[in-house]
Amino acid sequence: MDYNSKIYVAGHRGMVGSAIVRNLKEKGYNNIISKEFDELNLISQMDVEEFFENEKPEYVFLAAAKVGGIFANSTFPAEFIYDNLMIEANVINTAYKNNVKKLLFLGSSCIYPKFAPQPMKEEYLLTGTLETTNEAYAIAKITGIELCKFYRRQYGCDFISVMPTNLYGINDNFDLETSHVLPALLRKFHEAKINNEKEVVMWGTGKPKREFLYVDDLADACIYLMENYSDESHLNIGTGVDVEIIELANIIKNIVGYKGDIVNDLTKPDGTPRKLLDVSKLNATGWKHQITLQEGIKKVYDWYLTTNNIRK
C-alpha cells in the first residue's frame, strides 16, 4: 500500500475496524473508505457488488462481523452463523471480481478445537471438536479462512487471514448480555463501586485461562501484515501470554478501585478451558505486541469513564 491507496475498512464502527482506521491515519494513509450500515448492508450481495463496482477499493480490511460473548453466541447461533457467512462470502467474492490487490480477513481464536494442545499453532485448525457455546460463530470464521485460501489457490488472489486472540479496547461493547468477559467485568466492578455493592458475581469458576490483546496492537499487526505477509496459511495474532479469569477479575478490580468481594456463579458455564495462541510465526515476521494487559485495561477504563462522562 502507498499513502494514496484506496483502502476499504469493512466494520469501521466496531472496536477492531475503528482501531484499524486510527492506525492507518496515524501512519499517513489518507484515502480510507468506510460506509455506515444504512449505506451498505454487507449481508446483501447486491449492495456489496454495487459498492465495489462504484468505489473500486484497492485494499480491503474485512473486520465486519456479528460478535458477542458466551450468552449471545449460545442464544442466537443461527444469526451468528448466517450473518457472518453472508458478510464473508459477499465481500471476499466481490473483492475477487473487482480485482482488489489485497484483502485481509479477521477471524477469531475460537476456530481452534476446544481441547487443542496449548499454545495453539495454526496447523491445529480442523483437528478436533469445537467449543459448543460458540460453535456457530467459529464455523463461520473457519469458512472465511477457507474462502481466502481457495480464492488464492484458484484465482491467485492475494487474500490473507489473521486469527486474533481475545480483544479489548476503545469502542468495546459493554452490554452485560452481549459483551465479552473483560468489558463485562470492567462494567460490573465500576457499577458495584459507585453503588457501594458488597460483591460482584462472576460467571463460572474463574479457572479458565485467556489471552488478551489490546485492539490497537491488533490494528498495528494487521497493517504490518498487509504490507509484509502473503501466504495461504492464516496467522495467529496475540501476546503469547494468558491469565486465569479470576486473575483478570482481580486486575480489573484493582484498576477500578472496587473494595468488595468476588463471588463465583457456578451455575454458569466456563467455556473453553484455555485459549492461548502460539505467536511464534507472527513474531518471526518481525512484529510483537507493545501494550501490557494492565496498561491496556487502564486505557480502556479511562476511555469508558470519559465516554460516559463519569468521574473516577
Q: In Å, what is the CA distance from 203 to each residue of 11, 70, 195? A: 29, 10, 20
164 is in an annotated binding site: yes
Single-letter residue type at 163: M
166 is in an annotated binding site: yes
**What does DSSP say about strands 274-275 and 166-168: parallel, antiparallel, or unpaired?**
unpaired
Strand order, beta sheet including 32-33: 32-33, 7-10, 59-62, 102-106, 159-164, 235-237
> 275: part of which helix (H) or strand (E)?
strand 274-275
91 is in an annotated binding site: no
Alpha carbon distance 47, 40 (integer Å)? 6
Q: Active-site residue among 96, 137, 214, 258?
A: 137
7-172+211-240+275-291 CATH pick, 3.30.230.10, 2.40.37.10, 3.40.50.12710, 3.40.50.720: 3.40.50.720
Confidence grade of residue 114 (pLDDT, cut at 50, 70, 90): confident
The pTM (predicted TM-score) of the whole model is: 0.92
pLDDT value of residue 67: 79
Mean per-residue pLDDT for 298-302? Answer: 97
Give the model confidence (pLDDT) of 196-210 as tens digits: 999 999 989 999 999
pLDDT above 70 (res 311): no
Tell me the average pLDDT of the chain.
94
Mean per-residue pLDDT for 247-266? Answer: 96
279 is in an annotated binding site: no
Give the model confidence (pLDDT) of 39-86 as tens digits: 999 999 999 999 999 999 999 999 999 877 777 788 889 999 999 999
109 is in an annotated binding site: yes
Domain boundaries, the chain: 7-172+211-240+275-291
Residue 82: burial class (beta carbons within 10 Å; 0-12, 13-18, 19+):
middle
pLDDT above 70 (res 23): yes
271 is in an annotated binding site: no
pLDDT above 60 (res 312): no
For residue 82, indicate whether it is catalytic. no
